[in-house]
Amino acid sequence: MEWLIAARAVAGMGGGGIMTVSSIVVTDLIPLKQRGLYQGCANILFGAGAGLGGPLGGFLNDRLGWRWAFLIQAPLLLLSYTIVLFKVNVHLPTLPQTNWEKVKRIDYLGSLTLVCAVGCSLLGISLNTSEELPWTHPAVWGLLAVGAVSAALFVAVEKWVAVQPVMPMRLLTRRTPFFVALTNLFVSISAFSGLYNVPLYFAAVRLTTATESGMHLLPNSIALSIGSLFSGWMMRRSGKYWLLNLFGAFLPIVSSTLFATWSARTSDFHLWFDITPSGFGHSSLITSTLIALIASVDRADLAVATGISYLFRTTGQVLGVSLSSAVVQGLLNKYLHERITGPGSREVRFSPSLFHPSAVLPPQHSTNAVRPPL
């Protein structure tokens, strides 16, 4: 597990860089009024990849083993690298800086404090919810305290220390960049909470295979593609994005409300359809808010402003998965404690076999029900 976590960190750094740099390149090459349409076309491919990744990963897991879900990415990444190396040629002005001077301008301290702030806070919450440690446990409150101190240090570093900060405070003190950043954060939290928990619901509650669970993300992929292209087309046609922002922000609320109504009697139509408003709204909103952000800053700040947008999006993705997982784990532990008691009940509650369809608990452990509701 330690190696898997380390590998995910490396993959996250690469993925985050690709998303940000590609968006900056398009911003430099495409006029502002056309920018939304091009971003929409890019998001179609992103949505298609995201949608196919879920069922493909589940299929590989069921048929060949989970390692192939990672191994199959190697030739695809090599192909992408080769295409960019030989086909993408953007001429940049020559700056009077050596490579070493450029490396020194990277905001290492800001990045470190940001990772500590988010990581320590989420780890403290996870220890409380999944490991059943109380809030008063030194590991829990200690991690939360380190997270709070790191967040304060991050703000101080970005404001007074960093030469080229990853999140310039001067931009966040302006209305449009600040609220675009908050919107990206909250919408990403909502969208990725659904993307994480919907397959989990089908795998753990409805006991479907990994392939079937991943297939339920396909409607979201289609909605992502259509929503982003629709938003880009509307902005190109009208030159406006205010109503698109309101519309895009409202749709994830619709999906969250529909998810909350799921039960054993929910029709198949709702189980497949209810995630689509979230995908449509999320893709529409990130496209329109990026154009709003670009239009509100000077050209010299375009790259930094785009980086801020992606910084808040990726932070929202992490928080959406982690916080929703913490809520699910907390409620699950609550129900397990209420319904499974007796000698050795803790070992039974942490046993994966508890959730097998044919699981039957020994009489001394069963008080209210055989399987707790998820």
Q: Is the dihedral of CA 138, 140, 146, 148 positive or negative?
A: negative
**CA-CA distance, 23 to 12, in Å (whole number)?**
17
pLDDT value, residue 359: 54
Cα–Cα separations (whole angstroms), residue 88 to 35, 39, 73: 18, 17, 21
**CA-CA distance, 198 to 190, in Å (whole number)?**
12
**CA-CA distance, 13 to 85, in Å (whole number)?**
19
For tokens 């690298």, name the residue: 81
Helix ranges (DSSP H) in 30-137: 32-63, 67-71, 73-87, 99-104, 108-129
pLDDT value, residue 215: 87
pLDDT value, residue 4: 87
Q: Which residues contact 337 (CB under 8 A, 6 or more apart)?
A: 349
Which helix or strand (DSSP H or E) is residue 25 part of? helix 2-29
**CA-CA distance, 319 to 118, in Å (whole number)?**
8
| 8 Å CB contact between 308 and 181 | yes
Per-residue pLDDT tens over the stretch 172-220: 889 999 999 999 999 999 988 998 899 999 988 888 888 888 888 889 8
pLDDT value, residue 372: 45
Give phi and psi for 340, each to the nearest 5. Answer: -125, 110
Per-residue pLDDT tens over the stretch 37-63: 787 777 777 767 766 777 788 788 888
pLDDT value, residue 105: 83
Q: Is the dihedral of CA 105, 108, 114, 118 positive or negative?
A: positive
Low-confidence ranges of the chain (pLDDT < 50): 367-374
